[in-house]
Amino acid sequence: MFVATKLPENTKVSGWVQMLPERTPNPSLSKSINVDVAIIGAGFAGLSAARRLSQCNPKLRVAVLEAGEIAAGAAGRNSGFIIDLPHEVSSDEYAGSDAGPTRRHIMINRTAIQLASDVAQERGWGKDVFDPCGKYNIAMSAQGDEHISSYAKQLDALKEPYRLLDSRQVADVTGTTAFTSAIFTPGTIIVQPAAYVRGLADSLKGGVKIYEKTPALSLEAVGKEWRIKTPQGAVTAGKVILANNGHAESFGIYRGLLMHVFTYASMTEEFSPARLGGDRSWAATPAFPMGTTVRRVRGERGDRILIRSRYTYNPRLKISENDVERAGRVHDRKFDARFPTLKGVQMEHRWGGAMALTWNGVPAYGEIESGLFAACACNGVGATKATALGIAAADSILGIKSELLAAFGQFEAPKSLPPQPFLTIGAKANLGFREWRAGKE
Ligand SMILES: Cc1cc2nc3c(=O)[nH]c(=O)nc-3n(C[C@H](O)[C@H](O)[C@H](O)COP(=O)(O)OP(=O)(O)OC[C@H]3O[C@@H](n4cnc5c(N)ncnc54)[C@H](O)[C@@H]3O)c2cc1C
């Protein structure tokens, strides 16, 4: 029997949710039910698994249990990059291999992008929700410029298209002279993440039912089935997909293997587009992975800037409002350094959210007990990786021998984290060092 010792706590509401109209959540589970598949968690992984299951077999009875509301968790709190290409290319591909780990990652990412694109097409979304506009990887220092040139060589080896931009060309796009160079890659999708996950949830058909404000409290094997307790009813299911990312460990699963790291975002109030030249909508990740993500979000009444940076290690899986405010002060400095012409524009929304990393960067994935499947450990890029994990978990249950499933089968198992207190000391020192190394970026 696995008992949840912690449930998700979301500090502050993300700007993305606040920009959307009010929504009535799906009713909570209020009685005991029997289903074929129960999914714990309605983020990218859980909802994508449900979609794949119902598409392949509309008759399957699927229950998705979400502790909070759709889009209140990390899936509706992120920066909205559904990224196709990894940040670093492995040395195998440098040597010209066609089948190395980077190619595998790209295939995994593109499978996720395909699912997202199908949802976008079905729902008829405009660019305000789903924009296949690509992304910039952007530098602010000589060190960052070096990273950009080296990344261009890696992309050459992979035969992936890109465009290099010098400081003047970046200024034409961003409306600021703060950036020194950039590389544009066309395959990333940029979404309004809260609108995307809500739409993904609403796209579910067939036998899928979502129960919001319905935390799974315990999980127990009873004969050949699994019984999940929730506050007002139990779910008996032939198969279970654990799609609750770091909270898998709250059930004692993957104990000592998941590192709980939070990251933070601030979003400005709307400002008149006349105050900042360049394109009215663009999205940039930093040249150094631990640096600052920036987006300009075009709105009907004005535009906003999103700044995402800071990482903190929070093994208790929660952060305080003070943590968000502290990160916010860093965001303000980053904003001022990048957009001096927007002096006086205030941050309207600030928030933080959880990610689950493994020591060796692999997913926590697979059939961990008979009929119990895990699709966890987003490693910070869950919009793609967790989506793909969800699809793969569904394929596993459906007995589909997909290329995706084979790719996940090739990952090694998550490596043990160092014991406490060395883990806390090491994680904090490592995050601090890497943020320091990212410097201005
Ligand atoms: C500020 C920020 C920016 C980010 N930017 C990006 C980005 O641009 N691109 C990207 O790819 N990634 C980004 N990420 C990371 C991304 O959001 C996560 O990787 C992703 O949300 C993980 O998806 P998931 O489905 O695995 O988990 P989650 O999205 O965390 O979903 C898990 C769900 O499980 C639910 N749950 C947990 N326990 C229980 C329980 N006991 N019972 C029922 N439900 C439960 C939770 O409430 C949650 O809704 C960012 C994260 C943050 C915080």
Taking only the tens place, the pLDDT of each residue in 210-243 is 999 999 999 999 999 999 999 999 999 999 999 9
Residue nearest to atom 53 of ligand 1 (CA): 353
Q: Average pLDDT for residues 20-38, to the nearest whole number?
A: 97
Q: 80, exposed or middle or buried, with CB in 10 Å at 0-12, 13-18, 19+? A: buried
Looking at the predicted structure, is the pLDDT value of residue 134 above 80?
A: yes
Residue 89 confidence class, pLDDT cut points 50, 70, 90:
low
**What average pLDDT does this structure show over 64-68?**
98
Instruction: Reply yes or no on whether the pLDDT at 90 is more than 60.
Output: no
Coil, strand or helix at 394: helix
* pLDDT of the residue at 18: 97
**74 vs 245: CA distance, rounded Å:** 10
Ligand 1 geometric centre to CA of 43 (Å): 6
What's the rounded Cα separation, in Å, for the pair 219 and 235?
9
Q: What is the atom index within ligand 1 of the atom nearest the CA of 383?
A: 11
Task: Please tell me the total number of residues recorded for the chain in this structure.
Answer: 441
Alpha-carbon span 280 to 277, nearest angstrom: 8
User: Residue 78: helix, strand or coil by DSSP?
Assistant: coil
Mean pLDDT computed over 416-436: 78
Query: Ligand 1 centre from 119 Cα, in Å?
Result: 19
The pocket around ligand 1, CB under 6 angstroms, is made up of 4, 7-8, 40-46, 65-68, 73-75, 77-81, 215-216, 243-245, 247, 263-265, 308, 353, 355, 378, 380-384, 386
**Mean pLDDT, the chain, integer:** 94
The whole-number pLDDT of residue 398 equals: 97
| pLDDT for the residue numbered 414 | 95
Query: Is 84 exposed, middle or buried, given 0-12, 13-18 or 19+ CB atoms closer than 10 A?
Result: buried
DSSP string across 110-138 = HHHHHHHHHHHHHHT--TTTEE---EEEE
Instruction: Say which range, 89-103, 166-180, 320-334, has the weakest mean pLDDT.
Output: 89-103
> What is the domain partition of the chain in residue ranges?
2-77+195-257+359-427
Q: How confident is the model at residue 344 (pLDDT cuts 50, 70, 90)?
A: very high
Q: What would the pLDDT profile of 32-53 be if each residue is shown by its tens digit?
A: 999 999 999 999 999 999 999 9
Q: How many Å lie between the centroid of ligand 1 and the Cα of residue 427?
A: 20
Ligand 1 atom nearest 378 alpha carbon: 19
| Residue 377 CA, ligand 1 centroid: distance in Å | 9
**What would the pLDDT profile of 239-268 be if each residue is shown by its tens digit?**
999 999 999 999 999 999 999 999 999 999
- Cβ–Cβ under 8 Å, residues 93 and 237: no
d(CA 175, CA 153): 27
Q: Ligand 1: distance of its center to the CA of 239 in Å?
A: 22
Going by pLDDT thresholds of 50, 70 and 90, the confidence category of residue 145 is very high
3-state helix/strand/coil string of 151-189:
HHHHHHHHCCCCEEEEHHHHHHHHCCCCCCEEEEECCCE
- Residues 397 and 384: their CA atoms lie apart, in Å, by 20
- Tell me if 104 sits within 8 A of 407, measured CB to CB: yes
155-173 pLDDT, tens digit per residue, is: 999 999 999 999 999 999 9
Which atom of ligand 1 is nearest the CA belonging to 214?
A: 43
How far, in Å, is the centroid of ligand 1 from the Cα of 188?
A: 19
Please, are residues 214 and 67 in contact by the beta-carbon 8 Å criterion? yes
Sign of CA dihedral 313, 319, 325, 328: positive
Q: Is the pLDDT of residue 274 over 70?
A: yes
Q: Which residue do the tokens 């703060």 mark?
A: 178
Please give the pLDDT value at position 193.
98
For residue 437, the model assigns a pLDDT of 74
| pLDDT given for residue 98 in this prediction | 56
Using CA atoms, how far residue 145 sits from 142, 169, 298, 337, in Å, is 5, 14, 28, 17
104 band by pLDDT with thresholds 50, 70 and 90: very high
Nearest Cα residue to 46 out of 25, 5, 74: 74
Per-residue pLDDT of 294-324, as tens digits, reads 999 999 999 999 999 999 999 999 999 999 9
pLDDT of 305: 98
Crossing angle for the helix pair 101-123 and 44-56, nearest 10 degrees?
Answer: 70
- Which amino acid residue places its CA nearest to atom 20 of ligand 1? 382
Residue type, 207: G
Atom 18 of ligand 1, residue of closest alpha carbon? 382
Between 113 and 290, residue with greater pLDDT: 113
Is residue 22 classed exposed, middle or buried when 0-12, 13-18 and 19+ CB atoms within 10 A define those classes?
Answer: exposed
Q: How far apart are CA 396 and CA 116, in angstroms?
A: 20
Q: Per DSSP, what are the bridge partners of residue 369?
A: 372
Question: If we measure between CA atoms, which residue out of 438, 417, 407, 384 comes closest to residue 44?
Answer: 384
Does 94 score more than 80 pLDDT? Answer: no
> Could you tell me the distance, in angstroms and rounded to a whole number, from the CA of residue 175 to the centre of ligand 1?
32
Say whether pLDDT at 429 is over 80: no
Q: What is the pLDDT of residue 439?
A: 76
To test ligand 1's pocket by mutation, which of 213, 244, 307 has the most ligand atoms within 8 angstroms of CB? Answer: 244
Q: Which fold has domain 2-77+195-257+359-427?
A: FAD/NAD(P)-binding domain (3.50.50)
Supply 13's token pair: 């509401």
Query: Which residue of 105, 355, 372 sits with most ligand 1 atoms within 8 Å of its CB, as the best mutation to test the pocket?
Result: 355
Strands 208-211 and 347-357: unpaired
Q: How confident is the model at residue 77 (pLDDT cuts 50, 70, 90)?
A: very high
In Å, how far are 91, 93, 114, 285, 396 from 99, measured between CA atoms?
A: 12, 8, 21, 26, 23
pLDDT in the model for residue 438? 73
